[in-house]
Structures are given as C-alpha cells and as structure tokens.
Structure 1
Amino acid sequence: MSTEVKQRSSLELTLRRLFADRAGLVSMVFIILLIAVAVGADGIAALTGHSAVAQFLTTGLTPTGLPVPPNGEFLFGTDQLGRDVLIRLAHGARISLAIGVVASLLAAAIGITIGLVAGYFGGWIDVVLGRLMDLVMSIPVLLCMLSLVAVFGPSLALSLTVIVFFSWTTMGRVIRGQVLSLKEREFVLASRSMGAGHFSIMVNDILPNLGAPIIIYTTMMVPTSIIFEATLSFLGLGIVPPAPSWGGMLAEAANNSIYMFAWWLVLFPGLALLFTTLSFNILGDALRDALDPASMRHKRPRKKRQAAGAAS
C-alpha cells in the first residue's frame, strides 16, 4: 500500500502556523473588531442618535455640571461637555487606525527604498544614506513639532508628515542589513552575470526575499505610529478639537483634573490605546513566528523539545 504525500504551499503552511498561535489569533480578532468599529462609527452614531460633537447639556451632565457615568443612554458615560464617550472613542479609532496604517505604509515605503539602495550599492552611497538616517534619528521630535505647529498650526496632515519623517529610519536600517547579506547570494550573482541591470536585480531578485521582514516590521510600526499620534494630540500638537482623538480625549480629561470625578474619561481611551498597541505587537510577533519557523524553536517548552529529541 502506498501513501500519497500531500504537498502544501508556503502560504498554506504560514497560515497554519499563524492560526495555531492563540495569542496571535486573539489579537487578530481584536484588530478586526476595532477596524469594524472604526469603519462603522457613523452607523453606531446613527443607532444611538448621538454624534461625536453633540453636547447633551440636560441628560449628559449632572445638575452640578459634571459628566454622567456609564448608564443605559450613554454606555461609556459623557465627557465634561456632555458628549458621548463611546461615539468619540469609535471616531477616535478611525483617526488612530488611519494615521497608524497610512503612516506605517508611507514610512515603510521610504525605508525600503533607502535601505535597498544603501545596502545594494554600498560605498559612498551607503555612507551618505547612513548618515542621513543618523541625522533624522538625532533630531528632537517634540522641538521639531513645536516649531512646525508654531508656523503652520496643528493639523492631521502635519501630524502624519512628522510621524512618517521620524519613523522610516527603523525600516531603512533593517532592510539595509538584509540587502547586504542578500546581494552576495548565488541567485543575485547569477542575475548579474546574465547582464541584468541594477534596478532589475533589486526589484526582481532581492525585494521578493525581503517580504517577511517588511511585513513584520510594518505591522510593528503601526502601534508606534498610533502612540506617536496620541502623544502629539495629548500635547495639543496633533488633531484639532473638537475632532475626537484618543490622545486628545486623555488631554481633555487631564484638564482641570476632571478625571478625579469621572474615571471613565481616562479608563476607556487608555484601554483603547493599551489593547490596540498590544494587539499589533502580538500580531507582529505571531507573523514573525509564522513566516520564520526557526524562530519558534526556542519557544517550545523544554519537555516537548526533550520528547521530540527522544522520539528522533
């Protein structure tokens, strides 16, 4: 009797390893739900009859003018202006995810391009681009943002530009290191000997072999961009009120120490930031393990490794 061996593609094996990671699966589900909330923020507002900027001065504030705690009408309570915290959180998720994803993609594209060129050509090009990365990393972020806000005023576009400008260097360094090792591999030397041009080698031979680190580091750049945006908004340098932002909501709660009387104004935006950044980081780790099975060996429990060794 002969047994047929079924071959599985690398994509299928990667997905099997990814879905076998429980923490990664939970984080993926949370991110999907968060995206659904962000996309459906207007629908949630329509269901509740509340908007992100509507002030409910009668039902949303106590007789003494304080925010009302979570109740049947306002599930997450209200803020100091009588606005629905749940609706503002949902619209804030849209801003945070949009900035996090867009900024990460733009920063990754810049970092990939510069790292690829620096690592492939080497020499003075590598030196110049390497010093450019060092220069960007040495610029004080807050001082730069304060100067730009003083000139142009706070805005979403300015926040996005600053986040991208200070985020691409991480990807650039990673890609440069990978290219330095890949450009001396046999398949690259074979393409070069067959007369392939520099651009063709970089795009067709080297870039496809950088898929795993690009996916992993881009995913891990998203929570950094979200925290970056929240920090800028908290300091008054990001999203312009009354547009909702998680960092801006925390800043509003900190003003006049209103959080001492309304704990929910700090709790819900803080938890949103915590679980969002944690989920993206866990997903990045899960993607790393799924795309690089060798990285999972050190994670197996000692007893399982011993049992596997004894079985072999």
Structure 2
Amino acid sequence: MSDIAENDFSQGTEVVQRGSLELTLRRLRRDHASMIALGVILCIILLAIIAPWIAAITGHSPIEQFRDTGLSPSGIPVGPGADFWLGTDQLGRDVLVRLAYGARVSLLVGVFASILASMIAVVVGVTAGYFGGMVDMALSRLTDLVMSVPFLLCALALVSAFGPSLMLSVAVIVFFSWAPMARVIRGQVISLSRQDFVHASRSLGAGPLSIMVVDILPNLTVPIIVYTTMQIPNSIVFEATLSFLGMGIVPPTPSWGGMLADASSNSLYLVAWWMVFVPGTALLLTTLAFNILGDGLRDALDPKSARTARHLKRKPKGASKS
C-alpha cells in the first residue's frame, strides 16, 4: 500500500509541475508583446551566431579596413550599398560585420554578468534575510555601500589602474548590479522564514543550509528569473556605456558602444547617419525586447499581479460616478 501511495503521490506531483509549466507557457504565448520581444531576441542571438558566416559571405573581416572602396575620395564613409550593405565607418570597415560581432560581445557580457550578479544577490539576500541580526545588518550596510558608489567614477579609477578589458567590464557591471536584487531577495526571505513550513523544517532538525536551499530557495524562483531577465538589458547598456567612454572593450574589437563612439568622433553622424543609426537601433531593440520579455515572464509566472492590476482598472458595473 505504501508503495502504491508513493507512486500516486509522485505521479500527482509530476502532473502538477507539468501543468504549472504548461500554464506558464500558455500565458506567455498569449502575450503578443512578449512573443514579439522573444522573436527580436532570437534574431539578435542568430545574428551573433552567424557573424562568421556574414563575414565569409561579404568577404569582410570586422577589423579589415577598405580605404579604397569603403571611403569616398574625400575620406567620408560609404553609405549602404551593394558592396557594404549597411555602409562603412570612418576607417572603411564594414558596419554590418562589426554589428554582428558586436552582438556577440553585448550578449556575452549581458548574460554572463547578469547571471553572476544574480548568484551574488541570491547568496547575500538569502543569508541576510534568514539569519537576521548582525549578519543582516552587516550585509545590508554592504549593500548600501555598493549602491552609493558612483558607477562612472569607480569605472574610471579601475580602468586607469588596470586598463580597459572585457573581464574588467564584466567585473564592474557585476559589482554594480547585484545590490538592488539582493535587497528584493532579502525582503522575500524575511517573509518566507516566518512561514509554517520553515518552522516545521526547524522542528524536524533541518539545518540552516538545508532550509535555505531546500525550503526557501525554490520559492524565490519567480523573482530570480524575472530580475535576471530584466538585468540583462541593464548589463548590455552598462557595457555599451563603458565602451562608448573608452573604458570597455579594447579596439579594434567591435562593440555597439564603440561603434557609437566612432560615430560621435568628429561629428561623423552628421554625414554618415548609418554609423549611429545601425548600432543605436540594435541597442534600443535589444534592451527593449529584454525588458518586455521580463515583464511577460513576471505576469506568466505570477498571474495574480496582472489580474489584480486589470481588476483595479476595470470599473464595476453599476458603480456611480463620483
């Protein structure tokens, strides 16, 4: 009988979990804005993946300079055409090829830095919220200290000391990204630690690490997924800002921020609009798509918030005008 009961319970749990996942995907598919945003993100990812193929088809390297065919006799970049589909920059380099390779840098930095920042935020937030007391006070003051440090001033100091590099960009982005999420996680953990299932685990002799990992952490899945997704565009913008200011990716490695910096030098965007329009549009669409997808994931994973917002906006029938 016990074996049958265990099998029935495990099958019931599997059905519930599968049903919950199917409901989440169904809600997400019904959100047209999220589906469009997901399509844009997939296109950007595809662009980054096929960057070497684009270079092979066009016959242009991302750092190769075509001063004879890529620049006019007066030294002005050539506009979009048959030879250069999205035009060239001030050195005669193919903008399309550099855009594709720049997508690799932006996605790599955005995703990698966001995951690292989320991991640090979860560790700090769960530890501070569960233990409380002096541990909470120390970690909360550390979070306040990180959030009070000026971003650009710290980046300038680090670049002056160590020089610009990809790893330094990731480290700076992670350093400034984990603190806000850690505050949210801490508040969630404080609320969860007062629940009956946590008290029951303590009474059964479970240790703090077991309670944090087995009981509390699974209940933080929704905020972790949502905040990590919405942190990716922030990391991409941070990387573009650092590269634009000359503190990020080292030239001639292409990056969207570096391409915007090239367009602003000597006011080239006044005569070569594609130099700022192409990377600027890619940066705008990518960050907007990740933000919209993050909102869609939040509503799909936690539909109560969306239903509550719609209910408050909907006026009850028969309500008198005030």
Greater shift after overlay, 199-208 or 40-49?
40-49
2:91 maps to 1:81: yes
Question: Kindly tell me: are residues 303 and 191 of structure 1, through their superposed partners in 2, closer, same or farther at Cα, counting changes over 3 Å?
Answer: closer
Question: Kindly tell me: are residues 68 and 301 of structure 1, through their superposed partners in 2, closer, same or farther at Cα, counting changes over 3 Å?
Answer: farther
Q: What does residue 274 of structure 2 align with? A: 264
2:74 maps to 1:64: yes
2:226 maps to 1:216: yes
Which of 187, 192, 195 is residue 197 of structure 2 equivalent to? 187
Q: How does 1:53-132 map to 2 (within 5 A)?
A: 53-132=63-142
Q: What does residue 163 of structure 1 align with? A: 173
Post-superposition CA distance 1:33-82 (Å, at most 9, x none): 11111111111111111110111112111111110111112111000111
Post-superposition CA distance 1:113-171 (Å, at most 9, x none): 00000000000100000000000111111111111111111111111100001100011
Deviation for aligned residue 1:298: 4.3
Q: CA-atom RMSD, angstroms?
A: 1.6
Q: How does 1:159-308 map to 2 (within 5 A)?
A: 159-298=169-308, 300=310
In structure 2, give the amino acid aligned to 1:258.
Answer: L
Structure 2 residue matching 1:61: 3-state secondary structure: coil
Give TM-score, length-normalised by structure 2: 0.91
Structure 2 residue matching 1:151: 3-state secondary structure: helix
How many residues in Structure 1 have an aligned counterpart in Structure 2? 302
Q: What does residue 31 of structure 1 align with? A: 41
Q: What does residue 151 of structure 2 align with? A: 141
Deviation for aligned residue 1:301: 8.3
Structure 1 residue matching 2:60: 3-state secondary structure: coil
Question: Kindly tell me: are residues 179 and 302 of structure 1, through their superposed partners in 2, closer, same or farther at Cα, counting changes over 3 Å?
Answer: closer
Runs of 4+ with >2 A deviation: 298-307
Question: Kindly tell me: are residues 267 and 301 of structure 1, through their superposed partners in 2, closer, same or farther at Cα, counting changes over 3 Å?
Answer: farther
Question: Kindly tell me: are residues 169 and 302 of structure 1, through their superposed partners in 2, closer, same or farther at Cα, counting changes over 3 Å?
Answer: closer
Q: Using the alignment, how far apart are the partners of 2:34 and 2:27 within structure 1?
A: 10
Deviation for aligned residue 1:300: 3.9
Q: Using the alignment, how far apart are the partners of 2:74 and 2:299 within structure 1?
A: 54
Structure 2 residue matching 1:9: 3-state secondary structure: helix
Q: Percent identity?
A: 63
Greater shift after overlay, 199-208 or 165-174?
165-174
Q: Using the alignment, how far apart are the partners of 1:186 and 1:201 within structure 2?
A: 12
2:21 maps to 1:11: yes
Question: Kindly tell me: are residues 70 and 301 of structure 1, through their superposed partners in 2, closer, same or farther at Cα, counting changes over 3 Å?
Answer: farther
Q: Using the alignment, how far apart are the partners of 2:181 and 2:50 within structure 1?
A: 32
Q: What does residue 3 of structure 1 align with? A: none
Structure 1 residue matching 2:48: 3-state secondary structure: helix
In structure 1, give the amino acid aligned to 2:28.
Answer: L
Question: Kindly tell me: are residues 114 and 76 of structure 1, through their superposed partners in 2, closer, same or farther at Cα, counting changes over 3 Å?
Answer: same
Post-superposition CA distance 1:233-270 (Å, at most 9, x none): 11110011000010110111111111111000010111
